[in-house]
Amino acid sequence: MLDPSFQFAVNPSSGVPIYRQLMDQVRAMIASGQLVAGDLLPSVRQTADELSINMMTVSKAWSRLESEGLLERERGTGMRVAPPLASGTVRERKLDLTPLADPLVTRGQQLGLTDEQILDVVRSVLRGKKR
């Protein structure tokens, strides 16, 4: 169950759409282990009320996370964190990851980083996830 003291934080003037801010926070919480499979997210109404934002904004974030396979809708209960997807061959899972890696590599190249420096960033993030 989600820690009742946890609150999402949004910054309407950040330039990042609010629904994306919510999605990024949920992704980060799942990646860090703060949210695990089966944990319930606060309802759309509750989240919208706490943040003083439109319910459709929250609904959009939760729906997109559901379409990505990170959340699953449980009728009558709300949205839960979905179990990790480890189906398919390693090759298929790598192919699934490739579209996410492409923007990272492109941005690294735009910043003038070498391939090894970009890989160092990825390795550093991976080490941080293992803690």
CATH code of the domain in which 69 resides: 1.10.10.10
Q: What separation in angstroms does the CA of 21 have from each of 70, 103, 123?
A: 15, 18, 24
Q: Looking at the structure, tell me whether residues 96 and 74 fall in a common domain.
A: no
pTM: 0.67
Q: Looking at the structure, tell me whether residues 73 and 97 fall in a common domain.
A: no
pLDDT, position 105: 92
The β-bridge relationship of strands 78-81 and 71-74 is: antiparallel
Q: Is the pLDDT of residue 111 over 90?
A: yes
Establish if 6 belongs to a structural domain.
Answer: no
Residue in 71, 83, 12, 15 with CA at minimum distance from that of residue 43 = 71
> Would you place residue 89 in the very low, low, confident or very high pLDDT band (cuts 50, 70, 90)?
confident
pLDDT, position 3: 47
Output the average pLDDT for the chain. Answer: 88
What's the structural domain count of the chain? 2
Average pLDDT for residues 28-39, to the nearest whole number?
A: 88
Rounded to whole angstroms, the Cα distance separating 19 from 124 reads: 27
Q: Is the pLDDT of residue 44 over 50?
A: yes
pLDDT higher at 82 or 84: 82
Q: Is the pLDDT of residue 21 over 60?
A: yes
Q: What separation in angstroms does the CA of 1 have from each of 90, 94, 97?
A: 31, 31, 28
Enclosing domain of residue 22: 18-81
